Structure 1
Amino acid sequence: MRHNAGVSKRSAGILLYRPDGPQVLVVHPGGPFFKNKDAGAWTLPKGEYEPDEDPKAAALREFTEETGMALPDHDLVALGEVKLRSGKVIKAWAAEGDFDVESLRSNTFDLEWPPRSGRRQTFPEVDRALWCDPTTARQKLNPAQIPFVDRLVELLR
């Protein structure tokens, strides 16, 4: 999740899963806007990429930046893309793996907070990570990202 003024229209992310269940890893965006939001606010680890950048490489980079864990790229399975109401397109891949949510180490962004205060504060891009079953993931995720969970469940059948 890059916080920049020239908002690009493409993001790439990874839905990490454990086959037992299955369970999927979702993350909660950091910063004051999402502080008290839960249902519909969570996301898969993802971020924007440039038009000339390989989306799969961007997904791997963003996963590492937002969780602190690097993934091998040879295990990724394409989950296609979804379009947000804003028009942004998110491409995602599934990867089987495990992650200790207590070890979450996210990169940070700076923001003027409170607004028009002249004070800049640093916030983590991601402040929490959670393993959950697909039903819980559908409640927590941004609604536009739910198809990624549905596609993964189909693939695992």
Structure 2
Amino acid sequence: MTARRSAGLLLYRFVDGDLQVLLAHMGGPFWARRDAGAWSIPKGEYADDEAPLAAARREFTEELGVPVPDGEVVALGEVSQSGGKVVSAFALHADLDPDAIEPGTFTMEWPKGSGREQAFPEVDRVAWFDPATAEDKLVTAQRAFLERLRAAVAG
């Protein structure tokens, strides 16, 4: 069985010389009351016939409802999350107003076992964070992307 694969974009900017990254809080009832470990880079799954960068761009627009900002991307490699999903990330130096997002939605049975389908936002909010704060908020496996980003922008 092939591992599920996701790809995403990690936007970064500098404010008064300090690095900040844009993270998305995962939408839906499971994540609603969580903060630490409940944020992610905007990402989503893709099939074997799609390139990771193309998937990252598509998923960014689907999840946040805004076009991908212009700019060169830097590959940050892959990580394996605890559930076995392999995530590829790409860094992009750009600015984005978190209030501009219009998140896409997904449908799931909720409450579980009720037979009722409900729509939820892919992400319920996005925000800029310094790397130390981002590390506390990110899904554990994705924290490696912060270190890789720091190395990329330092070089």
Instruction: Provide TM-score, normalisation by structure 2.
Output: 0.93
1:28 is aligned, of 25, 28, 36, to 25
Q: Tell me the number of residue pairs that the alignment of Structure 1 and Structure 2 aligns.
A: 151
Q: Which one-letter code corresponds to 2:78 in the other structure?
A: E
Structure 2 gaps of 5+ residues are: none
Structure 1 gaps of 5+ residues are: 1-6
> How far off its partner does 1:19 sit?
2.5
Q: Which one-letter code corresponds to 1:15 in the other structure?
A: L
Structure whose residues are more often strand by fraction: 2
1:132 is aligned, of 123, 129, 133, to 129
Q: Which one-letter code corresponds to 1:110 in the other structure?
A: T
CA contact (8 A) 1:28 1:129 kept: yes
| Whole-angstrom distance in 2 between the partners of 1:92 and 1:74 | 15
Please give the residue correspondences for 1:32-111 in structure 2 after superposition, counting only pairs within 5 Å.
32-71=29-68, 75-111=72-108
| Whole-angstrom distance in 1 between the partners of 2:47 and 2:128 | 30
| Whole-angstrom distance in 1 between the partners of 2:3 and 2:69 | 26
| Whole-angstrom distance in 2 between the partners of 1:47 and 1:118 | 26
Q: Which one-letter code corresponds to 1:16 in the other structure?
A: L
> How far off its partner does 1:114 sit?
0.9
Calculate the aligned-residue CA RMSD, in Å.
1.5
Kindly report structure 1 stretches of 4+ aligned residues shifted beyond 3 Å. Answer: none
CA contact (8 A) 1:12 1:59 kept: yes
CA contact (8 A) 2:12 2:92 kept: yes
CA contact (8 A) 2:11 2:21 kept: yes
Instruction: Provide TM-score, normalisation by structure 1.
Output: 0.91
Percent identity of equivalent pairs: 54
